Structure 1
Amino acid sequence: MSKKYAGGCGHIHTHSSNDPIDNHTCHCSVCKRVTGQESTHVVFFNHRDLTVDNLEGLDRQPFNDQNPDGPLELCTCATCGTPIMLDDKQRRIRAIVPNLMGHDPESLPPTYHAFFDESTGAPRPDDGRPVYAGLRPDFVWPPSM
């Protein structure tokens, strides 16, 4: 099976031969806090579609330190500390941030802006992509596995 999308670090590799189910530029406060970026390119894959070759080599911590019991865990390489993916404890999705997790951002272009909050005073994105206060309206979370 081909590996259409691949990333990770020198110790842990992720890959998928299936297309992502969502691909957006995130403007949420959690992504800003975790990445230090003003906006973050985020890609969701169905949980079963993003394969990890060394799950035992991952360190896991809550993605949102203000909600440590939330569903997402930030997985980093236990050897070098590189962020590898976000893993959903409910096994619905696995998410990557291409520019931080070894994937090619150009092969996974975002299609819209998510979690944009006008009250922050940030300028509204004007790159022609739709802008939403949450995920795109037609997004449906996959069932838990």
Structure 2
Amino acid sequence: MASNQTGGCQHVHTHLHGGPIDNHTCHCSVCKRVTGQPTTHVVFYNYRDVEVDNPAGLKRQPFNDQNPDGPLELCTCATCGTPIMLDDKQHRIRVIVPNLMGFDPQGMPATYHAFYDPASGEARPSDGRPVYEALRPDFVWPQPA
């Protein structure tokens, strides 16, 4: 599933070398704020499984502007502004949002819903996939690369 694929833009490419370690539809407020989407298809990879061919071509900014010291950085192309990936400053994961980062979402389907908050007033997802108020209960953060 989604191994040996390439995404990014014409200036910076990401290459996936291995399958995802987590693949979900995110309902969190940060993803909504950053992407402008009501939900966001998010795919986690082990840090070393996402290769960037032009790291000097990345512009980095905090993923969560309300927590600028948090572990994730949004990496965009410094030339054209295309979102490339989320990079973990702790070197545990790299994150791809397929529909925004040059990948085919059909090739890496989400397996569950994460960060669903019943207090949000949104209808509980009913597509048959599990729904959690955080990441799936068996998810374990990888060790830093």
Moved more, 127-136 or 9-18: 9-18
Deviations 1:18-67, CA, capped at 9 Å, x for gaps = 00100000000000000000000000000000000000000000000000
Deviations 1:71-95, CA, capped at 9 Å, x for gaps = 0000000000000000000000000
Q: Partners in 2 of 1:5 and 1:139 — Cα distance?
A: 24
Q: Partners in 2 of 1:76 and 1:32 — Cα distance?
A: 17
Q: Partners in 1 of 2:114 and 2:143 — Cα distance?
A: 21
* 1:70 aligned onto 2:70: yes
Deviation at 1:4, TM superposition (A): 2.2
Deviation at 1:17, TM superposition (A): 2.6
Q: Partners in 1 of 2:4 and 2:68 — Cα distance?
A: 33
1:49 aligned partner = 49
Identity %: 73
TM-score (norm 1): 0.97
SS class of match (1:45): strand
Q: Partners in 2 of 1:95 and 1:16 — Cα distance?
A: 11
State the 4+ residue runs in structure 1 displaced beyond 2 angstroms: none
1:59 aligned partner = 59
SS class of match (1:34): helix
Moved more, 13-22 or 3-12: 3-12
**Count of aligned positions:** 143
Deviation at 1:5, TM superposition (A): 2.0
1:11 aligned partner = 11
2:106 aligned partner = 106
* 1:21 aligned onto 2:21: yes
Consecutive unaligned residues of structure 2, counting only runs of 5 or more, are none
CA RMSD of aligned residues (A): 0.7
Deviation at 1:109, TM superposition (A): 0.2
One-letter amino acid matched to 1:9:
C
Deviation at 1:6, TM superposition (A): 1.5
TM-score (norm 2): 0.97
Consecutive unaligned residues of structure 1, counting only runs of 5 or more, are none
* 1:137 aligned onto 2:137: yes
Deviations 1:91-145, CA, capped at 9 Å, x for gaps = 0000010000001101000000000000000000000000000000000000112
Q: Partners in 1 of 2:123 and 2:48 — Cα distance?
A: 37
